[in-house]
Amino acid sequence: DGGITQSPKYLFRKEGQNVTLSCEQNLNHDAMYWYRQDPGQGLRLIYYSQIVNDFQKGDIAEGYSVSREKKESFPLTVTSAQKNPTAFYLCASSIKRERFEQFFGPGTRLTVL
């Protein structure tokens, strides 16, 4: 059945290490997004991609990087330059950017020790 998968559910890394979070969708959606959620906060947009091989910075892109080599995949790398990487990361997709309903994956909880 169709959906968005994120792996792993929980991830632990040492400070100074880069880490890549996986996001895969089989909904045939064009647009994909990465958000970050911190306790008591709403979701904040990190990066988004409207089409393969194209992506744009969101509101809090510093310290993150993405790629969109395939329509189904939109991995997010949290680099050592991200000052506060511990957070809950959510991937989402939508049919296209003009259709506003975004569908979310289950999320990855990243803890940097």
Partner 1 sequence: DQQVKQNSPSLSVQEGRISILNCDYTNSMFDYFLWYKKYPAEGPTFLISISSIKDKNEDGRFTVFLNKSAKHLSLHIVPSQPGDSAVYFCAASMNYGGSQGNLIFGKGTKLSVKP
- Give contact residues for partner 1 (rule: CB under 8 A): 4, 6, 9, 31, 40-45, 48, 50, 56, 58, 88, 90, 92, 94, 96-107, 109
Dihedral of alpha carbons 40, 85, 2, 71, sign: positive
Distance CA 89, CA 105 (A): 9
Min dist CB 16 to partner 1, Å, is 26
Which residue number, 52 or 80, has a Cβ lying nearer to partner 1? 52
Min dist CB 37 to partner 1, Å, is 9
88 and 36 Cβ atoms separated by less than 8 Å? yes
Min dist CB 109 to partner 1, Å, is 7
Which residue number, 16 or 84, has a Cβ lying nearer to partner 1? 84
Please give the backbone phi and psi of residue 11, each rounded to the nearest 5 degrees, phi first: -140, 135
Q: Which residues are bridge partners to 5 per DSSP? A: 24
